[in-house]
Amino acid sequence: MKKRVWTMLAIGLISLMTLGLLSACGAGGNGDDDATTETVETTDTEDVGTDDTQDETAGDDTVLHIAVFEGGYGRGFWYDLIDRFEAAHPGVTVEMQISPDIETIIAPQIAVGEFPDFMAIPEQHAGFMTAMIQNRELLDLTDFFDSEALGHPGTSIRDMIIPGMLDSTAYAPYGDGRVYLAPFNASPMGPVYNITLFEEMGWSVPTTWDEFFAMDALLDDADTFVDIGGNEERRAIFTYQGIHAGYLESILWPAIAGAGGMEAIHAIENYEEGAWDNPAVREIIEIFARMGTEGYLMDGTVALDHTQSQADMMLGRALFIPNGVWFVNEMADAPREDGFEFAIAPVPTVAAGQPRYVLSSFEQLSIPAEAANTELALEFLRFFYTDETIISFAEHADGSLAIVGSREVAEDYLSPSVLNMLRAYDEGTFMLMSFAPIPAGLPLHMPQEIFDARMTPLMTGQMTVDQYIQEMEDLNAEIREAIEAEGN
Amino acid sequence: MRLKRKSKVNAMPKGFVALCVLPALALVLVFLIYPTATAVVMSFTNAASLAAGGVDFIFLDNYIRMFTNDPHFIVALRNTLQILAVVPAVTIFMALVFAFGLTQSKLKEKSVYRVLFFLPSILSLVVVAVVFSALFHPRSTGPINMLIGWFGIDAIPWLGDPTFAIWALTIVMVWQAVGYYMVLLIAAIDGISKEIYEAADIDGASAIAKFFRITAPLLMDQIGITYVLALSGTMSISFILGRVMTNFGPGTATLVLPGHMYNMAFGPAASFGYAMAIMVFTLGMALVFAFVSRKLTVRKERL
């Protein structure tokens, strides 16, 4: 009996070793497989490249691997960009991996040391991007931005980018002025309203919070009620995406910037002591609490998801909802009030005359420092910042790039709704908000703490303003401590 | 001669069986044991992402943080324990009652009920979540709010209320799982000899007496097994429902351990090591519960 156990164990061990060897071979083979699947994925663009390239080895040297997060802007723009880049660079082949779930495709490849040459993956959509920034694994792009732009002799690429962007933590994460991420698009976010309704009612968009709250009284008038399925309903002044409280960022940050200036925002971005326990910030937090506890929110808001709340707002149940330009496409099929037309307002201010800000959504482009073909990736990035790309992005994705004058260049290609929303920049000052990196592995993410974990409790009175501010200060203290510990 | 042949016969299948088992064993080792062991190792590091380099060992720091410095973990643990205390027990009890009813009653439309009760189990969980989000709609026109409205109760924003949200999810979890366990238990009840019930009928036992004195005690082993299945099932359902119906909110009111783990590992928090520590703790907790519940039901069966 005992003997048999030993025999079985021995057989087991031997087969395990064989399996280990097999799997090692498998892993080696896998690398090759990857290349083939990628080729298949982009056959349409691939063919052009291979036809031009007679020599196989030359083709190998000039393959650019790019990884793209597929968001609301779709794929058409990227296919067009690749076609144009390949046409302008004979012999070069671009192989693209594009998916809404790009993190699950790319992270395992990076884990075994296979870096894409170029990434269009925004930090907020992929934890591994946060990790790469924390670990300083991206290529320094500072010199690139100081080099000359294509088609604009004598102009640096830096000069093309919307002023202030490259100084933001979103692109220069380490606070030393060096740029590691490149701007992709830029579009306004903020309180979206139905401009037709405002015109019909003769309302003007509130510029101060007092005006905002005063507007609520107007809604008691039965003439302003909305007819939904034969029911006359009183409109509410505000709603948000309920269980996805993160959307409130497009109100919170511009409101804080308006009350406390961009210094207040920078203090929060950098976890400074007193960043939250600041009279200007407190005023804004009080406004948020008031909005919820004093009945300005649409009924049931806190229990709705983004689709439900957005649909309600478009039906006329609420005047404002925080959102961005993707709203237009996202809800393209949703029923809406007659004549509904999107517009974004700059966020109201506490006192009249304070500057009004518009938070911009942003996505990032980057090049891994360990990428095989950084030279070609930089060439691709240079190619990205051209007027042709601005037009292509408007044409294929109805979006606006983070380049000065994008809107004017692409005016004929953008839809009226998007153009309307982009006008928010005419009335308010462009701003970005992005937290400075924290030590790798520290299980904290400030937007999650600020919005998801606490904003609804604050607005429903479960949490007081003092509690909210104190907890933010405590979290900041913890992050500061971790940063100091890492520095030592 | 005969003896020798017998031993040969014995030896052959054992070697063969071992050979047959080995591929499965190897697969389990490579795809289950090895990744789990890796996860345990990662739980002692500050890994930010699966793809992160430069990982440091920080030993028990992640585990210490869970209990001393992470209020979300404590909330998630409390919610998970609450769900685990309620859902499997209620589910199995209701499944048992339905199974007993459907096997013992003389209802003509028995097979229809059987299909109806089982239906939720074959629906995609995301579909279930979306359907119930609509049923629990916060406005007074939401179906459930209309129902309570008839009794003069004001509309409740179910999924947006920190007290009710977790109970709303609990109801959905039970609704979704009851049919599945009912089918398992019907099969088990069919295995109980008819004569026992006939004898009870002759003795004039009521349905309730038959349920508590015959069905429940004789099925204790199956109940134990289904309970363990329900424990692990509840864990994963709580994640899907929480993510779709409430995004683990309002605030963190419906945050569960797998949800917290997911946020930490794959969200922008990028704390894979910490997430693995939560995973290891959750796994350990589930194992302890499974072990204890098996122990309890097996002992009861012998008494």
Instruction: Please tell me which residue, A38 or A244, carries the higher pLDDT value.
Output: A244
A414 and A330 within one domain = no
Average confidence score pLDDT of chain A? 88
Kindly report the nearest CA distance between residue B49 and chain A, in angstroms: 5
Which token pair is A183? Answer: 């701007």
Placement of tokens 């026992």 in the chain: B196
pLDDT at position B5 over 90: no
A28 falls within a domain: no
Q: Considering A425, A457, A477, which residue would you say is the last residue of a domain?
A: A425
> Quick one: DSSP state of residue A428?
S
In whole angstroms, what is the distance from residue A259 CA to residue A348 CA? 10
For residue A132, the chain B residue with the least C-alpha distance is B52
Counting the structural domains of chain A, the total is 2
Asked whether the beta carbons of residue B22 and residue A243 sit closer than 8 angstroms, the reply is no
A12 falls within a domain: no
Give the rounded percent of residues in chain B with a pLDDT score beyond 90.
70
A82 falls within a domain: yes
**Nearest in space to B98 (alpha carbons), one of B117, B121, B111, B112:** B117
Mean pLDDT of A96-113: 90
Classify A190 in phi/psi space as left (phi over 0), alpha (psi -120 to 50) or beta.
Answer: left
A385 and A313 within one domain = no
Give the rounded percent of residues in chain A with a pLDDT score beyond 90.
78
A83 and A208 within one domain = no
A82 and A124 within one domain = yes
A451 falls within a domain: yes
In whole angstroms, what is the distance from residue A345 CA to residue A426 CA? 10
pLDDT, position A474: 97
Contact between residue A245 and residue A270 where contact means Cβ atoms under 8 Å apart: no
Query: How far, rounded to the nearest angstrom, does the alpha carbon of residue B98 sit from its chain's CA centroid?
Result: 19
A235 and A112 within one domain = no
* Cut 0.80: pTM above it: yes
Asked whether the beta carbons of residue B48 and residue A457 sit closer than 8 angstroms, the reply is no
- Which residues in chain A touch residue B63, judged by CB atoms under 8 angstroms apart? none
A10 falls within a domain: no
Identify the weakest region by mean pLDDT among A16-25, A302-311, B101-110, B235-244. Answer: A16-25
Contact between residue A132 and residue A368 where contact means Cβ atoms under 8 Å apart: yes
pLDDT, position A6: 53
pLDDT bracket for residue A436 (50, 70, 90): very high
pLDDT, position B293: 87
A466 and A321 within one domain = yes
Mean pLDDT of A31-57: 37
A250 falls within a domain: yes
Kindly report the nearest CA distance between residue B166 and chain A, in angstroms: 12
**Nearest in space to B135 (alpha carbons), one of B154, B156, B118, B161:** B156
Instruction: Please tell me which residue, A52 or A156, carries the higher pLDDT value.
Output: A156
Contact between residue A254 and residue A359 where contact means Cβ atoms under 8 Å apart: yes
In whole angstroms, what is the distance from residue A452 CA to residue B249 CA? 7
Mean pLDDT of A399-416: 93
Kindly report the nearest CA distance between residue A300 and chain B, in angstroms: 5
A147 and A169 within one domain = yes
Interface contacts (A, B; CB < 8 Å): 180
pLDDT, position B110: 86
pLDDT at position B243 over 80: yes
Query: For residue A356, what are the contacts with CB-CB under 8 A and spacing of at least 6?
Result: A207, A254, A258, A346, A347, A348, A349, A427, A428, A429
- pLDDT per residue as tens digits for the range A448-487: 999 999 999 999 999 999 999 999 999 999 999 999 998 8
Q: How far is CA A53 from CA A37, A314, B199, in A?
A: 20, 53, 88
A371 and A243 within one domain = no
pLDDT at position A24 over 60: no
For residue B73, the chain A residue with the least C-alpha distance is A443
Asked whether the beta carbons of residue B51 and residue A19 sit closer than 8 angstroms, the reply is no
Identify the weakest region by mean pLDDT among A5-19, A117-131, B241-255. Answer: A5-19
A105 and A57 within one domain = yes
pLDDT at position B268 over 90: no
> Beta strands of A292-435 (E only): which ranges?
318-324, 342-344, 357-365, 429-431
ipTM for the predicted complex:
0.85
pLDDT, position A17: 45
Placement of tokens 């800000």 in the chain: A357
Q: Write the CATH number for A205.
A: 3.40.190.10
A54 and A97 within one domain = yes
For residue A1, the chain B residue with the least C-alpha distance is B11
Contact between residue A5 and residue B15 where contact means Cβ atoms under 8 Å apart: no
A144 falls within a domain: yes
Q: Which domains does chain B have, with CATH numbers?
A: 72-302 (1.10.3720.10)
A275 falls within a domain: yes
pLDDT at position A227 over 80: yes
Picking from B30, B142, B155, the nearest residue to A19 by CB comes out as B30
Mean pLDDT of A222-232: 92
Domain housing A214: 188-360+431-487
Q: Mutate which of B16, B271, B276, B278 to test chain A, going by most A C-beta atoms within 10 A? A: B271
Mean pLDDT of A144-148: 96
Mean pLDDT of B140-148: 93
Instruction: Please tell me which residue, A29 or A191, carries the higher pLDDT value.
Output: A191
Asked whether the beta carbons of residue B139 and residue A4 sit closer than 8 angstroms, the reply is no
Q: How many CB atoms lie within 10 A of CB B28?
A: 11
Mean pLDDT of A61-80: 91
State whether residue B6 is helix, strand or coil: helix
Q: Considering A425, A445, A462, which residue would you say is the last residue of a domain?
A: A425
Q: Are strands A318-324 and A182-194 parallel, antiparallel or unpaired?
A: antiparallel
- pLDDT per residue as tens digits for the range B190-242: 989 889 999 999 999 888 999 999 998 999 889 999 999 999 899 989 999 99
Q: Mutate which of B139, B144, B278 to test chain A, going by most A C-beta atoms within 10 A? A: B139
Average confidence score pLDDT of chain B? 90
A262 and A379 within one domain = no
Q: Considering A404, A425, A446, which residue would you say is the last residue of a domain?
A: A425
Class of residue A473 by CB neighbours under 10 A (exposed 0-12, middle 13-18, buried 19+) = middle
A412 and A324 within one domain = no
pLDDT at position A241 over 90: yes
Please list the residues that pair with A190 across neighbouring strands: A323
